[in-house]
Amino acid sequence: MASESRLAQVGTTIPVRNVQDLAACNAGDLTAEALERYIRPDIDKDAVLYEHSGELPVVDLGRLFDPQSWEEEAAKLRYACEEWGFFQVLSHGVPEEVMANIKRDIQEFFQLPLDVIKELLRTNPRRPSRIWKSLEDYSVELKKVAHSIVTAIGRILNVDPELLSDKYAVQVLRMNYCPPCMSMAEKVLGFSPHSDGSFLTILSQVNSVQGLQIRRHDAWIPVKPHPEALLVNVGDLLEIMTNGRFKSIEHRVIINARKERLSKKLSLYRTVKVEDYFAHYMSNKLDGKRALDYVKLL
């Protein structure tokens, strides 16, 4: 919690009109002006290659930690991080019950009227206790998954495991809600193209509505997630720390004209305190850009 509130103090997102509020408007009120923030004139600029959806790399965590198959699976993980920046993780070990509970509770949460949600969060953010418990259980499980992936990445990069230790990690969980949009669905995006500012992100759909597309070779590849997989992507921090070897890839979310889309995203950050960086900087002799090596892994 301490690190969460620290992050909240660092910065918040740009205020926008609430999308549930927008979705509740009469179709006639959803003018181009009302939707201006969401309309992307360049939405069709690059091709969407549906036929490549099945090529998204898959990494099996069980095989990754089996000495017999480590090498083969580690090669897949390295390829995924270097060439795609996105991959699906199977055998992640998150209990089915934890997955089912969080999906159920997030769906129920977003069915509450907007004023009830606001009131709940204002008066007592912990009051919707069932969802709170589900979120906590899910976070605990995802921390283990993140730890396994980060450990494997450390082995692949041959870096000191201490540098990737959990004590430098901060975890942020977010629930995403994209309402259906009948008017101008073909011009509106749920999430504009962006790469993640995190070290690593673990994504998972909450309902069955697809929409995520990832950038590859100047085109968009729609993601069709395996029902049991978690989707992982390299974030900007990992790209920086690997000197650009691992790629933090742009992605976007298209919306569905008739159905809402729900997803959850766990972002993992690795902290470097300015004080630590400064202490490191001061305690070393001036030597070109060597102090930067302190934040880079490679």
Ligand X SMILES: O=C(O)CCC(=O)C(=O)O
176 binds ligand X (CB under 6 A): yes
102 binds ligand X (CB under 6 A): no
Nearer of residues 101 and 263 to ligand X, judged by Cβ: 263
| Strand, helix or coil for residue 56 | coil
Nearer of residues 229 and 253 to ligand X, judged by Cβ: 253
Looking at 77, 153, 203, 268, which residue binds ligand X (CB under 6 A)?
203
Nearer of residues 19 and 297 to ligand X, judged by Cβ: 19
Looking at 65, 168, 191, 294, which residue binds ligand X (CB under 6 A)?
191
134 binds ligand X (CB under 6 A): no
| Strand, helix or coil for residue 15 | coil
Query: What's the token pair of residue 114?
Result: 């907007």
Rounded least distance, CB 196 to ligand X, Å:
6
Looking at residue 48, the DSSP 8-state letter turns out to be B
- Could you tell me if 58 and 51 are in contact, meaning their C-beta atoms sit under 8 angstroms apart? no
- CA separation for the pair 258, 233 (Å, rounded): 28
Looking at residue 285, the DSSP 8-state letter turns out to be -
- Strands annotated E in 102-188: 169-178
Rounded least distance, CB 266 to ligand X, Å:
10
Alpha helices in the chain (DSSP H): 2-10, 19-23, 61-64, 70-79, 96-111, 114-123, 129-157, 236-241, 274-283
Q: Name residue 39's beta-bridge partners.
A: 188
By CB under 6 A, the count of residues binding ligand X is 9
Rounded least distance, CB 264 to ligand X, Å:
8
| Strand, helix or coil for residue 38 | coil
56 binds ligand X (CB under 6 A): no
Site string for ligand X, 229-258 (x = CB under 6 A): ----------------------x-x-----
Amino acid at 111: Q
Nearer of residues 127 and 194 to ligand X, judged by Cβ: 194
